Structure 1
């Protein structure tokens, strides 16, 4: 890689480890929060001694008032962020605390964006379009997957067009993030698998991205190794705290990596699947991963050969290309082991939609850092391969 300059973005403070959720009240007080909106999902709100209850207990101990929005949906919609904004204004709130996985964090970010940068978030899609800071934002993470608690990405679905779009800005990065693995012990197997595969993809795409650098490379490598050694165990036994802890470490590393080295066609295409069919983001990513990366392989075969080693494959004596192909095999095996569907047909994908989805994927903010530059016909072919289960 030629020498070049690059920046590196992450929250100013990241709390990690069992029990750190108790520090939320103190940190909120340090930030001057008087009345945050807690943005979360209904089932988390109702979970006894769950992350929302523990967040509230810590806020009360610090003498901080709050109001709750519990309407977060998977693949958060424009109407979700507008509802948070209205609650924020009506209640006299002054800050936001997101509690949950990527959907909660993206909803909170989206609400913050339209509170300070204009009512129509669809006009702010793109990279560094925000001119004003968001209200103070804390993210309490409950899944080992998206990395949204520490990244600059806010992914929102336009329910009218079924199109997912991304607002990418350093202003979206939460001021403080919390990753407490004890909050994840009761996460269902299907969610553990989907979010874990999202983290896996978010460690792989930055490693082959045109924007990778030595710092993000090291994060990707360690994240991949951690996921290889823990995701299957976390799916098999959700109360395996050691596996849960490794997965949190991995998703944080992957989040920091893609926050800086960006992603690629897997995410650009997954956003179209998720938006069109309201399918889980991590499942969409996992289904597309091997087909996109097999397409990408000729752009940087040496990087894929290295990935195979990190994934535990024996590449001794193999050519670079043969070693690289083992990484594709390992990606498929990981998805199969944790119970991901085999094809996008199983989540409702229809070939009639591929042309439009391909067109929109190439406009997605993640497409520009993909190592191989494709056209609409290429993307349609990848969608078709993921539909058929083979190239």
Structure 2
């Protein structure tokens, strides 16, 4: 009798200790969360290569070779992009803060409206509406842009330590990956098949996100670089900017090519404006974002044998923006992963309790 009365308290106490331990670890590793998360996603996406090398080498040597390969092919280029983007973004933040000329921007907008193929009455109404609301809108855009840019710089400013942590943890994720998964399953109170669904979903999402994001970024960056090269502007700068912006579905490319095309139009460069607008709206916006991106995601989902949870466009866009604000540039990955995993957990809840309802 005494044992039975103590069991609920013992269970509750152990659960409290477990939650306290998890909370303590999360608090302890908070400075490295972004690096650990990226390292985990890369390890999951490339784990099959590590297993292939295990057929020929020992576990330690296979982990070392895979880590070196991933570092050369993926982590060092990412570090270079972060370094370049830090320098450019820091300059942009200073320019936005010190050179923000409201009168000049208003003049550009008025010149753009004046050149539109509309009647004088419509132009007058549009110009009045812009002048009345443009100030508040521009200040909001300025503040939001600075928040996003500072979030990106916050990671890039200590990217050397970040790269060291990613590389170091990647090696041990290869070696201890199966042990970690086994330990998570043993601690989880869920049924075995539900644990498998959840872990497989995280694996598939990581592989799909890492692959699709970098492929789309490369594609959009190269296409926009060629476009910018045609009109005689610095191709590398705008190509990197477009590649980084393209991580945000639908909205990313728009924040690069639309202001540029409006500026070129206000300067009277109609041909260049047309080239940039067509490249941005048709090639990048429609063909790449609306046709190529879903196709690449579906292809990678099929290869990883996973459900395509990234089809929820609104949630993907919002979680990407929120992820950038919360985690810096790696929020481009972390935000959608968290949102997609939440959807997966809702699905598991439905599978578990709808089944129980039908069984009862």
Q: TM-score, normalised by structure 1?
A: 0.23
Q: Which has the higher strand share?
A: 1
Higher relative contact order (CA 8 A, sep 6+): 2
Which has the larger helix fraction? Answer: 2
Q: Specify the structure having the higher radius of gyration (Cα).
A: 2
Query: Normalising to structure 2: TM-score of the pair?
Result: 0.24
